[in-house]
Structure 1
Amino acid sequence: MIPWLEPGDPFPPVDTALRDPDGLLAAGLELTPQRILDAYRQGIFPWFSEGQPVLWWSPDPRMVLVPAEIRITPSMRKVLRNRPYEVRCDTAFEAVMRACAEPRDGQAGTWISDHMIAAYGALHTKGWAHSVETWVDGELAGGLYGLALGRMFYGESMFSRTRDTSKIALVHLARYLESQGYALIDCQMNTAHLASMGGREIARSEFCRVLSQSVQSAHPRRWRPDEIPAYFRP
């Protein structure tokens, strides 16, 4: 059994999360910007499907990517150097979220509901949530979104409409975060795609230790459209 959270209730300790399903911690109906920020500061994130209550998770182990450890293959380096594209920040946040919510092969639905889009859109307006966008020939071709708190970036989802465009966004983001002294990119769940780019699992206790040292001085700030490309070198 997991606790049901009423508005204003504190989250339970993350070490009380279930082992099966891994990391399920609590449920409720509240999904406000402040509730989401409180969750991220404690190593917790929301993940649920349409029609479900809001489910809160803190898996063990946790998938992370150290910005300096981003893996760029020789073929990807050629793409970064030679392919015509433009990377922008925070110019199409809702469009990125809706693109991430589009159906994918092998998936029956999406967890990025209108409820989620509204909550994270409010965080974007306040300067907490950000999008990194890959544009090709004037069209949004790929990208990702997430939250920046202190020296942590919490990656939420990414998409590609053409080959490698989500990877382009992630590489640019990692290089930028490295230059700004960020400790980790939280990837939440283990995927082969993220592992191929340098992601790895760490114990939840280690993740929370790094977290406690990295979100103490968190302030919201909108990113300039050209902020990330200014720090990138292939």
Structure 2
Amino acid sequence: MVRLDENEISFPDPELYDGHKGIIAFGGDLSIERIWLGYQLGIFPWYNPGEEILWWCPDPRFVLFPKELKVSKSMRKILNKNFFTITENQNFREVIKNCQQTRRKGQDSTWLSNELMDVFVKLHEYGLAKSIEVWKDDELVGGLYGIQIGKVFCGESMFAKVSNASKAGFIYFVENNKNKIEIIDCQSYTEHLESLGAKMIPKKEFLTILKKNNELR
């Protein structure tokens, strides 16, 4: 692993450096400039608050191509009946706050520190991050957020307070942005997203798509 210099905004080239179990580098800081550069290179922060910042670019990469989205009959019925009201970029701060507070299976604490939350909120204010909100009876019951780089959407986290809320938001997002998005980066494997059509692809393939979108922006 490479230790990053806090005074220099740079990363090792993820195409040339495999790292250790997907970890490309450690250290550095959580400045907006460094976070944004990292995502443009396919590198994202993932660490426990209070510990050293770890920067990841796993191989293989867990992604979803919008045309390969799988929607079950039961979910299609829920969507067709408008059980939820779904919006975009209406309450980014509350979505990320709920993602932070949601406890995941096998995790005692959240990876999403207050400092990292503040960075993502700033990226949203700059138009670089977006959220999907899922409402039921005017209550926020689910949602997701991520960073947009050209036609690549880097999904960060999602939450659900009632059954199928996050899944409904994700399906809505994919179906309503399929002409604007070439690939969704899901980062790490989950059964939840695999059931919706996400799959593993080689890191090199993902980085090639990402690089093309960076050049087209």
Aligned match of 1:229: none
For the residue of structure 2 that corresponds to 1:215, the secondary structure is helix
Consecutive aligned runs of 4 or more in structure 1 exceeding 6 Å deviation: none
Matched, 1:207 2:196: no
Tell whether the 8 Å contact from 1:44 to 1:58 is kept in structure 2 after alignment. yes
Q: Which residue of 2 aligns with 1:101?
A: 100
Q: Percent identity?
A: 37
Letter in 2 for 1:192: E
Q: Is the 8 A contact 2:19 2:25 kept in 1?
A: no
In structure 2, what is the equivalent of residue 171 of structure 1?
171
The superposition leaves residues 154-176 of structure 1 with CA deviations (integer Å, 9 ceiling, x where unpaired) of 00000000000001110011112
Total equivalences in the alignment: 215
For 1:109 and 1:74, how far apart are their aligned partners in 2? 35
User: Residue type of the partner of 2:118?
Assistant: A
Residue 16 of structure 1 is matched in structure 2 by 17
CA contact (8 A) 2:9 2:34 kept: no
Instruction: Give distance in 2, aligned partners of 1:13 and 1:86.
Output: 42
Q: Give the corresponding residue for 1:185.
A: 184
Q: Over residues 144-198 of structure 1, what are the superposed CA-to-partner deviations in whole Å (9 max), with x where a residue is unaligned?
A: 0001111110000000000000011100111122122x21000001111111100
CA contact (8 A) 2:85 2:134 kept: yes
> C-alpha distance in 2, partners of 1:132/1:178?
15
Q: What is the CA RMSD across the aligned residues, in angstroms?
A: 1.3
Please give the per-residue CA displacement for 1:194-218, whole angstroms capped at 9, x wherever unaligned: 1110000000011111111112243
- Counterpart of 2:197? 198
User: Shift of the alpha carbon at 1:58?
Assistant: 0.3
What SS class does the counterpart of residue 177 from structure 2 fall into?
helix
CA distance in 2: counterparts of 1:7 and 1:91, whole angstroms: 35
TM-score normalised by length of structure 2: 0.94
Residue identity in the other structure for 1:58: C
SS of the counterpart of 1:178? coil
Give the alignment of 1:41-52 within 5 angstroms: 41-52=40-51
Show structure 2 runs of 5+ residues with no match: none
Deviation per CA, 1:11-58: give whole Å up to 9, x if none. 012142334xx2101112411122111111111111111101221100
Deviation per CA, 1:62-120, whole angstroms, max 9, x where unpaired? 00000111110111101111242111111111111111111234320001110111000
Residue identity in the other structure for 1:55: L
Partner of 2:148: 148
Residue identity in the other structure for 1:186: D
Bigger drift between 125-134 and 10-19 goes to 10-19
Contact 1:17 1:57 in 2 (8 A): no
- Three-state SS of the structure 2 residue aligned to 1:16 is coil
SS of the residue corresponding to residue 131 of structure 2 reads strand
Distance in structure 2 (CA, Å) of the matches to 1:9 and 1:122: 18
Q: What SS does the aligned partner of 1:101 have?
A: helix
Q: Distance in 1 between matches of 2:3 and 2:68?
A: 37
Give distance in 2, aligned partners of 1:136 and 1:160. 11
Alpha-carbon separation, structure 2, partners of 1:29 and 1:213:
27
1:37 aligns to 2:36 (yes or no): yes
